[in-house]
Structure 1
Amino acid sequence: MEKLIEIRKISSIEELTAVQTLDQTIWKTEAIPVHQTLTVVQNGGLMIGAFDNGRLVGFSYSFPGLTKGKVYLCSHMLGIHPDYRGQGIGVMLKKAQKNEAKEIGYTLMTWTYDPLESVNAFLNLSKLKGVANTYIENCYGEMNDGLNDGLPTDRLKVQWHIQQQPTIRICTEANQETYKSIANWKINHDGLPVINRSDLTTVKKEHTILVPIPKAFQCLKQTDFQLALDWRLQTREFFQTAFQAKFTAVHVLKTEDPVYYYVLTKQIELPAL
């Protein structure tokens, strides 16, 4: 029988305690204290839960942010129990979070994610229609949570304009032959993707470019850590160079190859903040 997942706001101490337990199960690190999450949801923040027959199996957690007088919702965590991943629950949580945020009066949500995690990239940019033009080096410092061990915790910062979508002038049905890639890649003797050559002059000549990333970064990291580090450092340079040249990441192309491609373009109009 297909699971019927209930998505709703969380505000009670009992359910926030369940969030804390799920937090520890997912990341194997110290969880956010309940007294903090309780205070946040009572003061403009949101905790959205996903429930399977009353059991908490996922959550999204966000709190108010403020920059230069502009208030927005900072989406800090989204976690799904390992047994429930790949079922679209993340999208359900984000959409519920968006609807609740609009009701409160927010026009913008932001969050960060690892740019080399292809599933998150596709969710954030292609499914949710977020955009990103800020790259943060080693955002959280050293983390020992299994996913980030040993690597700089570089992050992209997503802008999700929830009242008015940005105007983007690209073909989202395009493939990797449509636009110029900032780097070439090849398969090594272990069957892993390796960046072969970069062409940073591309950012001066094109209005829309591609940045390749590994399709399965965690598997690559477990197999060849040095190669994973090389992807981290080289794509860091690619994104930073492109963002300095006023490009914005707006889409992710899936392929049958062992890489996906970010689509970055200058042909975008962002809503006024």
Structure 2
Amino acid sequence: MLPTERAALTQQAETAALVAAHSAGVRVSDEGSLAGFLEIEALFNRIWLLPPGESAIPSELLRSISHAGCNVTAARDQTGRIIGAAAAIVTPQSQSMYSLIAGVASGISDRGVGFALKQHQRAWGLARDLTEMTWTFDPLVSRNARFNLSKLGADASEYAVDFYGPMQGDMNANDESDRLVAVWPLTSAETAACSEDRPIPVDHPSFSRSDVLKEGPDGDPVLVNAHGALWCRVPNDIVALRAQSPQVAAEWRSSIRSIFTDVFASGHIARGVSRDGWYRLAPGGTE
């Protein structure tokens, strides 16, 4: 990419980040203060419903990440209170950054704060000649999946089994920590369009009974072949399901693990998620 093209794309990202923050009613900026790091640690612990003594990411580690020249981003409301945050490190010897953690206070997730955080991170990365961001997320959490793959324009083609080992806290309910690896191309036309709230729509797939390849733990179709792609359904609210019926949640984990492992091995890529939790798994190299 030519320097002029890079400068124009960075300007586009910075403008999109400012628009997203204004729309969400927050001020988004890099965080460098110890008080801010302590506030972020406390926020994340509340988000993940961690017991006393546990920490999603310690404030001293956030301070080290910032001091090393990596990214710690905070979103503040009109009172100056931090209501969302994210942290990312730069991958050595590459043009990639790795998002360690991101979260928004409960009760305000529909305001666009998370989107504003990610747009700030994109602008931060482009200003440093980075071209890609990666992170992991639970494939069973359909809301996060849709945000990552449809709202932001990332894709995924790698399934990591029990990535973190046993997870603590009420939100994870001791479930296995399987993760999809999201890859977000910071310079792509799709990502730029998504940053301006123009994502490619992914609608509920229409299919007949003959298109169904597999049924889920609830007895309904979970994997279908339709419209030139495979489609895989996940529960509407896995967090609630874990609390209500851990055994059924574990059955979903096993089912989705088997499907994604096989589908990715066949060269498919997860490109978008519908509002009702259907992943679009396109053949590799297609949009």
Give me the TM-score of the superposition, normalised by structure 1.
0.82
Amino-acid identity (%): 24
CA distance in 1, matches of 2:56, 2:260: 31
Partner residue of 1:235 out of 232, 256, 259:
256
Query: Does structure 2 conserve the Cα–Cα contact (< 8 Å) formed by 1:207 and 1:267?
Result: no
Partner of 1:266: 283
**TM-aligned CA deviation for residue 3 of structure 1:** 7.5
More helix per residue: 2
Alignment of 1:58 with 2:84, yes or no, is yes
Partner of 1:164: 188
Offset from partner CA, 1:80-106 (integer Å, 9 cap, x none)? 112422221111111111111111221
Runs ≥4 residues deviating over 4 A: 178-182, 195-200
Give unmatched runs, 5+ long, in structure 2: 1-22, 192-199
Query: Does structure 2 conserve the Cα–Cα contact (< 8 Å) formed by 1:183 and 1:211?
Result: no
**TM-aligned CA deviation for residue 155 of structure 1:** 0.4
CA distance in 2, matches of 1:237, 1:129: 25
**Compared with structure 1, are the counterparts of its residues 241 and 165 closer, same or farther at alpha carbon in structure 2 (3 Å cutoff)?**
farther
1:208-223 paired onto structure 2 within 5 Å: 208-223=229-244
Which amino acid in the other structure matches residue 266 of structure 1? P
- Report the RMSD for the aligned CA atoms in angstroms: 2.7
CA distance in 2, matches of 1:93, 1:108: 16
Give unmatched runs, 5+ long, in structure 1: 186-192
More strand per residue: 1
Number of aligned residue pairs: 250
Alignment of 1:183 with 2:205, yes or no, is no
Query: Does structure 2 conserve the Cα–Cα contact (< 8 Å) formed by 1:7 and 1:51?
Result: yes
Query: Does structure 1 conserve the Cα–Cα contact (< 8 Å) formed by 2:95 and 2:129?
Result: no
CA distance in 2, matches of 1:173, 1:34: 38
Query: Does structure 1 conserve the Cα–Cα contact (< 8 Å) formed by 2:203 and 2:275?
Result: no
CA distance in 1, matches of 2:238, 2:39: 30
**Compared with structure 1, are the counterparts of its residues 269 and 103 closer, same or farther at alpha carbon in structure 2 (3 Å cutoff)?**
farther
Which amino acid in the other structure matches residue 73 of structure 2? I
CA distance in 2, matches of 1:151, 1:26: 17
**TM-aligned CA deviation for residue 267 of structure 1:** 4.9
CA distance in 1, matches of 2:240, 2:159: 23
Give me the TM-score of the superposition, normalised by structure 2.
0.78
